[in-house]
Amino acid sequence: MVSSSHTDGIVAGRLPADTLAEQFGDLHPPLDAHEAAVAADRCYFCHDAPCITACPTDIDIPLFIRQIATGTPTAAAKTILTQNILGGMCARVCPTETLCEEACVRETAEGKPVLIGQLQRFATDTLMERGEHPFTRAEPSGKSVGVVGAGPAGLAAAHRLAMKGHDVTIYEAHPKPGGLNEYGIAAYKTVDGFAQAEVDWLLKIGGITIDYGKALGRDITLDGLAEKHDAVFLGMGLGGVNALGVPGDDKDGAEDAVDFIASLRQADDLTTLPVGRRVVVIGGGMTAVDAAVQSKLLGAEEVTMVYRRGPDAMSASKFEQDLAASKGVRIIFNAQPVALHGNGAVAEVEFAYTRAGETGLEPTGETFRLKADQVLRAIGQSLEDAPEGLRLERGKIAVDGTGRTTRAGVWAGGDCASGGDDLTVTAVAEGRDAAEDIDATLRGG
Protein backbone atom coordinates (compact mmCIF):
# COMPACT_ATOMS: atom_id res chain seq x y z
CA MET A 1 0.00 0.00 0.00
CA VAL A 2 1.30 3.45 -0.94
CA SER A 3 -0.46 6.33 0.76
CA SER A 4 1.34 8.91 -1.36
CA SER A 5 0.21 9.83 -4.85
CA HIS A 6 3.78 9.22 -6.00
CA THR A 7 4.53 5.89 -7.61
CA ASP A 8 8.29 6.38 -7.70
CA GLY A 9 10.93 8.15 -5.68
CA ILE A 10 11.49 8.39 -1.96
CA VAL A 11 8.15 8.73 -0.19
CA ALA A 12 6.66 8.14 3.24
CA GLY A 13 3.77 5.87 4.13
CA ARG A 14 4.46 2.93 1.86
CA LEU A 15 2.95 0.70 4.56
CA PRO A 16 0.18 1.39 7.10
CA ALA A 17 0.99 1.99 10.76
CA ASP A 18 -0.22 -1.39 12.02
CA THR A 19 1.92 -3.25 9.49
CA LEU A 20 4.98 -1.18 10.42
CA ALA A 21 4.40 -1.85 14.12
CA GLU A 22 4.40 -5.58 13.37
CA GLN A 23 7.41 -5.33 11.05
CA PHE A 24 9.51 -3.52 13.66
CA GLY A 25 8.63 -5.79 16.56
CA ASP A 26 11.29 -7.35 18.79
CA LEU A 27 13.74 -9.42 16.72
CA HIS A 28 14.17 -11.89 19.60
CA PRO A 29 11.14 -11.78 21.92
CA PRO A 30 12.26 -12.10 25.56
CA LEU A 31 12.28 -15.44 27.34
CA ASP A 32 9.78 -15.98 30.12
CA ALA A 33 10.89 -17.57 33.41
CA HIS A 34 10.09 -21.11 32.29
CA GLU A 35 11.85 -20.69 28.92
CA ALA A 36 14.88 -19.24 30.69
CA ALA A 37 15.01 -22.18 33.10
CA VAL A 38 14.85 -24.67 30.21
CA ALA A 39 17.54 -22.78 28.26
CA ALA A 40 19.79 -22.52 31.33
CA ASP A 41 19.47 -26.26 31.96
CA ARG A 42 21.31 -26.94 28.68
CA CYS A 43 24.53 -25.35 29.98
CA TYR A 44 27.31 -27.76 30.94
CA PHE A 45 28.76 -25.16 33.37
CA CYS A 46 32.17 -25.89 31.90
CA HIS A 47 35.32 -25.45 33.94
CA ASP A 48 37.59 -23.03 32.06
CA ALA A 49 34.62 -22.32 29.78
CA PRO A 50 35.48 -21.24 26.21
CA CYS A 51 32.49 -18.88 26.16
CA ILE A 52 34.17 -16.68 28.80
CA THR A 53 37.31 -16.38 26.70
CA ALA A 54 35.17 -15.45 23.69
CA CYS A 55 33.42 -12.62 25.57
CA PRO A 56 35.26 -9.28 25.20
CA THR A 57 34.07 -8.25 28.67
CA ASP A 58 35.03 -11.60 30.31
CA ILE A 59 31.61 -12.25 31.86
CA ASP A 60 31.52 -15.44 33.94
CA ILE A 61 28.86 -16.97 31.71
CA PRO A 62 28.55 -20.40 33.40
CA LEU A 63 28.11 -18.67 36.77
CA PHE A 64 25.32 -16.36 35.65
CA ILE A 65 23.53 -19.19 33.84
CA ARG A 66 23.77 -21.36 36.98
CA GLN A 67 22.29 -18.46 38.96
CA ILE A 68 19.36 -18.32 36.53
CA ALA A 69 18.96 -22.10 36.78
CA THR A 70 18.78 -21.83 40.58
CA GLY A 71 16.10 -19.12 40.46
CA THR A 72 18.24 -16.08 41.28
CA PRO A 73 18.17 -13.96 38.09
CA THR A 74 19.07 -10.72 39.89
CA ALA A 75 22.25 -12.34 41.19
CA ALA A 76 22.91 -13.41 37.59
CA ALA A 77 22.40 -9.82 36.49
CA LYS A 78 24.97 -8.56 39.00
CA THR A 79 27.48 -11.13 37.71
CA ILE A 80 26.92 -9.79 34.20
CA LEU A 81 26.83 -6.09 35.06
CA THR A 82 29.97 -6.23 37.18
CA GLN A 83 31.86 -6.95 33.97
CA ASN A 84 29.56 -5.24 31.45
CA ILE A 85 27.42 -2.40 32.79
CA LEU A 86 25.57 -2.26 29.44
CA GLY A 87 24.82 -5.98 29.56
CA GLY A 88 21.18 -5.40 28.69
CA MET A 89 21.95 -3.72 25.39
CA CYS A 90 24.78 -6.09 24.56
CA ALA A 91 22.38 -9.01 25.05
CA ARG A 92 20.27 -7.48 22.30
CA VAL A 93 22.85 -6.27 19.78
CA CYS A 94 26.04 -8.29 20.26
CA PRO A 95 26.86 -10.81 17.52
CA THR A 96 26.73 -13.60 20.10
CA GLU A 97 26.61 -16.09 17.25
CA THR A 98 30.25 -15.26 16.46
CA LEU A 99 31.39 -14.67 20.06
CA CYS A 100 30.27 -16.62 23.13
CA GLU A 101 27.70 -18.84 21.41
CA GLU A 102 30.09 -19.85 18.64
CA ALA A 103 32.54 -20.99 21.33
CA CYS A 104 29.85 -22.84 23.30
CA VAL A 105 30.56 -26.56 23.75
CA ARG A 106 26.94 -27.31 22.83
CA GLU A 107 27.50 -25.50 19.51
CA THR A 108 30.63 -27.56 18.86
CA ALA A 109 28.94 -30.85 19.77
CA GLU A 110 25.40 -30.34 18.49
CA GLY A 111 25.33 -27.23 16.32
CA LYS A 112 22.91 -25.63 18.79
CA PRO A 113 24.51 -23.40 21.44
CA VAL A 114 23.09 -22.40 24.79
CA LEU A 115 21.02 -19.21 24.29
CA ILE A 116 23.59 -17.09 26.11
CA GLY A 117 22.47 -13.74 24.71
CA GLN A 118 18.79 -14.31 25.48
CA LEU A 119 19.61 -15.59 28.97
CA GLN A 120 21.71 -12.48 29.57
CA ARG A 121 18.77 -10.34 28.52
CA PHE A 122 16.42 -12.27 30.83
CA ALA A 123 18.68 -11.64 33.83
CA THR A 124 19.40 -7.95 33.19
CA ASP A 125 15.78 -7.17 32.26
CA THR A 126 14.57 -8.82 35.47
CA LEU A 127 16.85 -6.64 37.59
CA MET A 128 16.06 -3.42 35.70
CA GLU A 129 12.31 -4.05 35.86
CA ARG A 130 12.61 -4.29 39.64
CA GLY A 131 14.32 -0.90 39.67
CA GLU A 132 17.40 -2.27 41.40
CA HIS A 133 20.92 -0.89 40.97
CA PRO A 134 23.32 -3.35 42.60
CA PHE A 135 26.29 -0.98 42.83
CA THR A 136 27.05 1.75 45.34
CA ARG A 137 29.32 4.75 45.10
CA ALA A 138 32.56 4.83 47.08
CA GLU A 139 33.48 7.75 49.31
CA PRO A 140 34.14 10.91 47.23
CA SER A 141 37.71 11.02 45.99
CA GLY A 142 37.80 14.76 45.37
CA LYS A 143 38.87 14.07 41.77
CA SER A 144 36.94 14.82 38.60
CA VAL A 145 37.07 13.19 35.18
CA GLY A 146 35.81 14.59 31.89
CA VAL A 147 34.35 12.02 29.51
CA VAL A 148 33.72 12.95 25.87
CA GLY A 149 30.80 10.99 24.41
CA ALA A 150 27.84 9.28 26.07
CA GLY A 151 28.12 6.16 23.94
CA PRO A 152 28.97 2.66 25.19
CA ALA A 153 32.65 3.40 25.94
CA GLY A 154 31.95 6.72 27.64
CA LEU A 155 29.05 5.39 29.70
CA ALA A 156 31.02 2.33 30.83
CA ALA A 157 33.97 4.51 31.83
CA ALA A 158 31.73 7.03 33.59
CA HIS A 159 29.90 4.40 35.63
CA ARG A 160 33.10 2.67 36.77
CA LEU A 161 34.71 6.02 37.67
CA ALA A 162 31.62 7.19 39.55
CA MET A 163 31.52 3.89 41.42
CA LYS A 164 35.12 4.55 42.50
CA GLY A 165 34.06 7.88 43.99
CA HIS A 166 35.17 10.27 41.27
CA ASP A 167 32.92 13.05 39.93
CA VAL A 168 32.26 12.60 36.22
CA THR A 169 31.03 15.04 33.60
CA ILE A 170 30.09 13.55 30.23
CA TYR A 171 30.19 15.94 27.27
CA GLU A 172 27.75 14.74 24.59
CA ALA A 173 27.23 16.32 21.17
CA HIS A 174 23.72 14.89 20.63
CA PRO A 175 20.56 15.85 22.53
CA LYS A 176 20.27 12.29 23.88
CA PRO A 177 22.79 9.90 25.44
CA GLY A 178 23.53 6.39 24.20
CA GLY A 179 25.68 6.99 21.12
CA LEU A 180 25.23 4.22 18.57
CA ASN A 181 22.92 2.38 20.97
CA GLU A 182 20.46 5.26 20.58
CA TYR A 183 21.18 6.48 17.05
CA GLY A 184 22.89 3.72 15.10
CA ILE A 185 21.31 0.30 15.72
CA ALA A 186 18.30 -1.21 13.98
CA ALA A 187 15.02 -0.39 15.73
CA TYR A 188 13.91 -4.04 15.83
CA LYS A 189 16.95 -4.91 17.99
CA THR A 190 16.16 -2.44 20.77
CA VAL A 191 12.43 -1.77 21.08
CA ASP A 192 10.39 0.24 23.58
CA GLY A 193 13.03 2.90 24.16
CA PHE A 194 15.38 0.47 25.87
CA ALA A 195 18.55 2.45 25.05
CA GLN A 196 17.31 5.44 27.07
CA ALA A 197 15.92 3.26 29.85
CA GLU A 198 19.32 1.60 30.25
CA VAL A 199 21.12 4.95 30.48
CA ASP A 200 18.60 6.20 33.06
CA TRP A 201 19.24 3.04 35.08
CA LEU A 202 23.04 3.39 34.75
CA LEU A 203 22.95 6.97 36.05
CA LYS A 204 21.41 5.78 39.33
CA ILE A 205 24.97 5.22 40.55
CA GLY A 206 25.15 8.99 41.08
CA GLY A 207 28.09 11.31 40.56
CA ILE A 208 27.58 11.59 36.77
CA THR A 209 26.46 14.78 35.00
CA ILE A 210 25.78 14.89 31.25
CA ASP A 211 26.36 18.18 29.42
CA TYR A 212 24.53 17.99 26.09
CA GLY A 213 25.28 19.84 22.87
CA LYS A 214 29.03 19.76 23.48
CA ALA A 215 31.20 18.44 20.66
CA LEU A 216 34.97 18.19 20.92
CA GLY A 217 36.60 20.72 18.62
CA ARG A 218 33.41 22.74 18.22
CA ASP A 219 32.29 23.56 21.76
CA ILE A 220 35.06 22.14 23.95
CA THR A 221 38.79 21.57 23.52
CA LEU A 222 41.12 18.94 24.87
CA ASP A 223 43.26 21.63 26.51
CA GLY A 224 40.19 23.06 28.22
CA LEU A 225 39.10 19.66 29.49
CA ALA A 226 42.60 18.84 30.75
CA GLU A 227 42.68 22.12 32.64
CA LYS A 228 39.23 21.57 34.19
CA HIS A 229 39.52 17.88 35.09
CA ASP A 230 42.08 15.59 36.70
CA ALA A 231 41.77 13.13 33.80
CA VAL A 232 40.02 12.92 30.43
CA PHE A 233 38.50 9.94 28.63
CA LEU A 234 37.67 10.22 24.92
CA GLY A 235 34.84 8.00 23.72
CA MET A 236 33.17 10.10 21.04
CA GLY A 237 33.05 7.42 18.35
CA LEU A 238 33.49 8.16 14.67
CA GLY A 239 31.61 11.18 13.38
CA GLY A 240 32.78 11.14 9.77
CA VAL A 241 31.42 8.88 7.03
CA ASN A 242 33.55 7.60 4.17
CA ALA A 243 32.51 8.86 0.75
CA LEU A 244 32.10 6.58 -2.26
CA GLY A 245 34.48 8.77 -4.26
CA VAL A 246 32.69 8.12 -7.55
CA PRO A 247 30.95 10.47 -10.03
CA GLY A 248 27.38 11.28 -8.99
CA ASP A 249 27.89 10.58 -5.28
CA ASP A 250 26.29 13.95 -4.51
CA LYS A 251 23.03 13.30 -6.35
CA ASP A 252 19.68 13.60 -4.61
CA GLY A 253 18.61 10.29 -3.15
CA ALA A 254 22.12 9.31 -2.05
CA GLU A 255 22.72 9.52 1.69
CA ASP A 256 24.74 7.98 4.49
CA ALA A 257 23.23 4.86 6.00
CA VAL A 258 24.01 6.09 9.52
CA ASP A 259 21.85 9.19 8.91
CA PHE A 260 19.03 7.03 7.55
CA ILE A 261 19.16 4.77 10.62
CA ALA A 262 19.37 7.73 13.01
CA SER A 263 16.29 9.32 11.43
CA LEU A 264 14.42 6.05 11.76
CA ARG A 265 15.44 5.58 15.39
CA GLN A 266 14.31 9.10 16.30
CA ALA A 267 11.03 9.02 14.35
CA ASP A 268 7.89 9.04 16.49
CA ASP A 269 5.80 7.82 13.58
CA LEU A 270 7.36 5.44 11.04
CA THR A 271 4.65 6.25 8.48
CA THR A 272 6.27 9.69 8.11
CA LEU A 273 9.69 8.26 7.25
CA PRO A 274 10.44 8.38 3.50
CA VAL A 275 11.93 5.33 1.80
CA GLY A 276 12.65 4.54 -1.83
CA ARG A 277 10.89 2.02 -4.00
CA ARG A 278 14.23 0.62 -5.19
CA VAL A 279 16.96 0.93 -2.56
CA VAL A 280 20.63 0.08 -3.06
CA VAL A 281 22.85 -0.23 0.02
CA ILE A 282 26.60 -0.17 -0.58
CA GLY A 283 28.67 -1.93 2.06
CA GLY A 284 29.05 -5.21 3.91
CA GLY A 285 28.93 -4.42 7.62
CA MET A 286 26.29 -4.38 10.33
CA THR A 287 25.26 -0.85 9.40
CA ALA A 288 24.66 -1.95 5.81
CA VAL A 289 22.49 -4.86 6.95
CA ASP A 290 20.54 -2.70 9.41
CA ALA A 291 19.88 -0.10 6.70
CA ALA A 292 18.92 -2.70 4.10
CA VAL A 293 16.57 -4.69 6.34
CA GLN A 294 14.86 -1.59 7.70
CA SER A 295 14.37 -0.24 4.17
CA LYS A 296 12.58 -3.47 3.31
CA LEU A 297 10.51 -3.35 6.51
CA LEU A 298 9.47 0.23 5.67
CA GLY A 299 8.00 -0.98 2.40
CA ALA A 300 10.72 -0.71 -0.24
CA GLU A 301 9.91 -3.13 -3.04
CA GLU A 302 13.46 -3.93 -4.05
CA VAL A 303 16.44 -3.70 -1.68
CA THR A 304 19.90 -4.76 -2.84
CA MET A 305 23.09 -4.83 -0.80
CA VAL A 306 26.27 -4.69 -2.84
CA TYR A 307 29.63 -5.58 -1.31
CA ARG A 308 32.99 -5.38 -3.04
CA ARG A 309 34.35 -8.67 -1.66
CA GLY A 310 33.03 -12.17 -1.05
CA PRO A 311 30.67 -13.30 1.76
CA ASP A 312 33.51 -14.58 3.97
CA ALA A 313 35.08 -11.10 4.06
CA MET A 314 31.88 -9.35 5.19
CA SER A 315 32.09 -7.90 8.68
CA ALA A 316 28.37 -8.57 9.08
CA SER A 317 27.96 -12.02 10.61
CA LYS A 318 26.42 -15.00 8.85
CA PHE A 319 23.35 -14.55 11.05
CA GLU A 320 23.00 -10.94 9.86
CA GLN A 321 23.46 -11.96 6.24
CA ASP A 322 20.81 -14.65 6.62
CA LEU A 323 18.50 -12.18 8.36
CA ALA A 324 18.79 -9.80 5.42
CA ALA A 325 18.07 -12.58 2.94
CA SER A 326 15.07 -13.75 4.99
CA LYS A 327 13.57 -10.27 4.76
CA GLY A 328 13.89 -10.23 0.99
CA VAL A 329 17.15 -8.31 0.66
CA ARG A 330 19.23 -9.34 -2.34
CA ILE A 331 22.98 -9.45 -1.69
CA ILE A 332 25.46 -9.07 -4.55
CA PHE A 333 29.10 -9.87 -3.79
CA ASN A 334 32.33 -8.92 -5.56
CA ALA A 335 31.11 -5.64 -7.03
CA GLN A 336 32.10 -2.05 -6.34
CA PRO A 337 30.42 1.22 -7.38
CA VAL A 338 31.70 3.07 -10.43
CA ALA A 339 29.18 5.90 -10.77
CA LEU A 340 25.71 7.09 -9.78
CA HIS A 341 23.62 8.08 -12.80
CA GLY A 342 20.55 10.29 -13.07
CA ASN A 343 19.38 13.78 -13.97
CA GLY A 344 19.70 15.56 -10.62
CA ALA A 345 18.39 12.63 -8.61
CA VAL A 346 19.90 9.17 -8.67
CA ALA A 347 18.22 6.73 -11.06
CA GLU A 348 20.85 4.01 -11.50
CA VAL A 349 24.05 2.84 -9.86
CA GLU A 350 26.80 1.43 -12.04
CA PHE A 351 29.01 -1.31 -10.58
CA ALA A 352 32.12 -3.14 -11.69
CA TYR A 353 32.62 -6.79 -10.82
CA THR A 354 35.76 -7.44 -8.77
CA ARG A 355 38.18 -10.27 -8.09
CA ALA A 356 41.19 -10.82 -5.87
CA GLY A 357 44.37 -9.93 -7.73
CA GLU A 358 48.05 -10.12 -6.86
CA THR A 359 48.04 -6.57 -5.47
CA GLY A 360 44.56 -6.69 -3.94
CA LEU A 361 41.05 -6.18 -5.26
CA GLU A 362 40.82 -5.44 -8.98
CA PRO A 363 37.98 -4.96 -11.48
CA THR A 364 37.25 -7.78 -13.92
CA GLY A 365 36.29 -5.41 -16.73
CA GLU A 366 32.59 -6.32 -16.53
CA THR A 367 30.05 -3.76 -15.33
CA PHE A 368 26.32 -3.73 -14.61
CA ARG A 369 23.70 -1.24 -13.46
CA LEU A 370 20.97 -1.35 -10.82
CA LYS A 371 17.95 0.92 -10.93
CA ALA A 372 17.67 2.92 -7.70
CA ASP A 373 15.84 5.93 -6.34
CA GLN A 374 17.61 5.73 -2.99
CA VAL A 375 21.26 4.85 -2.34
CA LEU A 376 22.56 4.31 1.19
CA ARG A 377 26.33 4.52 1.74
CA ALA A 378 27.63 2.15 4.43
CA ILE A 379 31.34 1.78 3.67
CA GLY A 380 32.68 2.72 7.07
CA GLN A 381 33.23 5.78 9.24
CA SER A 382 36.24 7.88 10.08
CA LEU A 383 37.43 10.00 12.98
CA GLU A 384 36.11 13.52 12.60
CA ASP A 385 38.05 16.46 14.05
CA ALA A 386 40.81 14.36 15.60
CA PRO A 387 42.14 16.08 18.74
CA GLU A 388 45.39 17.93 18.16
CA GLY A 389 48.47 16.59 19.86
CA LEU A 390 47.37 12.95 19.88
CA ARG A 391 49.07 10.36 17.71
CA LEU A 392 46.80 8.56 15.28
CA GLU A 393 47.10 4.95 14.18
CA ARG A 394 45.22 3.80 11.07
CA GLY A 395 43.04 6.91 11.31
CA LYS A 396 42.13 6.39 14.97
CA ILE A 397 43.54 7.64 18.27
CA ALA A 398 46.56 5.51 19.19
CA VAL A 399 46.19 3.87 22.61
CA ASP A 400 48.00 1.23 24.65
CA GLY A 401 46.34 -1.76 26.30
CA THR A 402 44.90 0.35 29.11
CA GLY A 403 43.55 3.05 26.80
CA ARG A 404 46.31 5.59 27.44
CA THR A 405 46.92 8.01 24.58
CA THR A 406 50.21 9.71 23.78
CA ARG A 407 49.16 12.67 25.94
CA ALA A 408 49.52 12.28 29.70
CA GLY A 409 46.19 12.37 31.53
CA VAL A 410 44.15 11.47 28.45
CA TRP A 411 42.67 8.05 27.74
CA ALA A 412 40.48 6.86 24.84
CA GLY A 413 38.31 3.89 23.97
CA GLY A 414 35.54 2.66 21.69
CA ASP A 415 35.32 3.25 17.96
CA CYS A 416 37.51 6.39 18.04
CA ALA A 417 40.46 4.46 19.47
CA SER A 418 42.84 1.99 17.85
CA GLY A 419 41.85 -0.92 20.11
CA GLY A 420 39.65 -3.87 19.20
CA ASP A 421 36.64 -4.49 16.98
CA ASP A 422 33.98 -1.84 16.43
CA LEU A 423 31.41 -3.58 18.63
CA THR A 424 29.31 -2.29 21.52
CA VAL A 425 30.71 -4.97 23.81
CA THR A 426 34.30 -4.11 22.91
CA ALA A 427 33.65 -0.42 23.53
CA VAL A 428 32.24 -1.26 26.97
CA ALA A 429 35.32 -3.32 27.83
CA GLU A 430 37.66 -0.54 26.72
CA GLY A 431 35.78 2.10 28.69
CA ARG A 432 35.73 -0.09 31.81
CA ASP A 433 39.44 -0.95 31.60
CA ALA A 434 40.46 2.66 30.96
CA ALA A 435 38.43 3.72 33.99
CA GLU A 436 40.31 1.24 36.17
CA ASP A 437 43.63 2.65 34.94
CA ILE A 438 42.43 6.23 35.42
CA ASP A 439 41.37 5.40 38.98
CA ALA A 440 44.74 3.80 39.76
CA THR A 441 46.57 6.79 38.29
CA LEU A 442 44.49 9.35 40.23
CA ARG A 443 45.18 7.44 43.42
CA GLY A 444 48.90 7.45 42.73
CA GLY A 445 49.13 3.86 41.52
For the segment 394-425, what is each residue's pLDDT rounded down to a tens digit?
Answer: 899 999 999 999 999 999 999 999 976 778 99
Asked whether residue 260 falls in the same domain as residue 216, the answer is: no
Q: Which long-range contacts (CB under 8 A, 24 or more apart) does 59-68 make?
A: 59/83, 59/84, 59/87, 59/120, 61/100, 61/116, 64/119, 64/120, 64/123, 65/40, 65/114, 65/116, 65/119, 66/40, 67/123, 68/36, 68/37, 68/40, 68/119, 68/122, 68/123
pTM for the complete prediction?
0.94
Asked whether residue 362 falls in the same domain as residue 405, the answer is: no
Task: Give yes or no for a contact between 101 and 51, defined as CB atoms under 8 angstroms apart.
Answer: yes
Residue that terminates a domain, selected from 377, 406, 424? 377
Reported as a pLDDT band with limits 50, 70 and 90, residue 8 is low
For residue 183, what are the domain limits?
A: 144-238+384-442
Mean of pLDDT values over 267-296: 97
Helix residue ranges, H only, 240-380:
257-266, 286-297, 318-326
Residue 406: Cβ-neighbour burial (10 angstroms; 0-12, 13-18, 19+): middle
Reported as a pLDDT band with limits 50, 70 and 90, residue 231 is very high
pLDDT tens digits for 307-335?
A: 999 999 999 999 999 999 999 999 999 99
Position 385 scores a pLDDT of 77
Does some domain include residue 10?
no
Asked whether residue 352 falls in the same domain as residue 315, the answer is: yes
Mean of pLDDT values over 15-32: 95
Indicate whether 393 pLDDT > 80. Answer: yes
Asked whether residue 413 falls in the same domain as residue 370, the answer is: no
Residue 372 sits at φ, ψ, to 5 deg, of -155, 140
Asked whether residue 252 falls in the same domain as residue 287, the answer is: yes
Asked whether residue 351 falls in the same domain as residue 255, the answer is: yes
CATH number reported for the structural domain that contains residue 118 in this entry: 1.10.1060.10
Does some domain include residue 138?
no
Residue that terminates a domain, selected from 82, 98, 129? 129
3-state secondary structure 138-168: CCCCCCEEEEECCCHHHHHHHHHHHHCCCEE
Does some domain include residue 359?
yes
Position 294 scores a pLDDT of 98
Mean of pLDDT values over 247-270: 96
Indicate whether 32 pLDDT > 70. Answer: yes
pLDDT tens digits for 167-206?
A: 999 999 999 999 999 999 999 999 999 999 999 999 999 9
Does some domain include residue 298?
yes
pLDDT tens digits for 33-71?
A: 999 999 999 999 998 999 999 999 999 999 999 999 999
Q: What percentage of the chain has pLDDT greater than the value 70?
A: 98
Count of the separate structural domains present in the chain: 3
Reported as a pLDDT band with limits 50, 70 and 90, residue 1 is very low
Does some domain include residue 272?
yes
pLDDT tens digits for 344-391?
A: 999 999 999 999 988 889 999 999 999 999 999 999 999 987 888 899
Does some domain include residue 300?
yes
Asked whether residue 367 falls in the same domain as residue 265, the answer is: yes
Position 387 scores a pLDDT of 87
Asked whether residue 266 falls in the same domain as residue 254, the answer is: yes
Position 4 scores a pLDDT of 36
From residue 272, how far is each of 10, 16, 20, 186, 276 by CA, in Å? 11, 10, 11, 17, 13
CATH number reported for the structural domain that contains residue 305 in this entry: 3.50.50.60
Asked whether residue 233 falls in the same domain as residue 337, the answer is: no
Position 91 scores a pLDDT of 96
Asked whether residue 280 falls in the same domain as residue 354, the answer is: yes
Task: Give yes or no for a contact between 369 and 390, defined as CB atoms under 8 angstroms apart.
Answer: no
DSSP string, 289-300: HHHHHHHHHTT-
Does some domain include residue 2?
no
pLDDT tens digits for 80-128?
A: 999 999 999 999 999 999 999 999 999 999 999 999 999 999 999 999 9
Looking at 307-424, which runs of residues are DSSP E strands?
Answer: 330-332, 335-341, 348-357, 360-371, 374-377, 381-382, 392-393, 396-397, 410-412
Residue that terminates a domain, selected from 377, 397, 417? 377
Does some domain include residue 5?
no
Asked whether residue 216 falls in the same domain as residue 247, the answer is: no
Task: Look over the chain and give the mean of its residue pLDDT values, rounded to a whole number.
Answer: 94
Asked whether residue 263 falls in the same domain as residue 292, the answer is: yes
SS3 404: strand
How many angstroms separate the CA atoms of 300 and 171, rounded?
Answer: 38
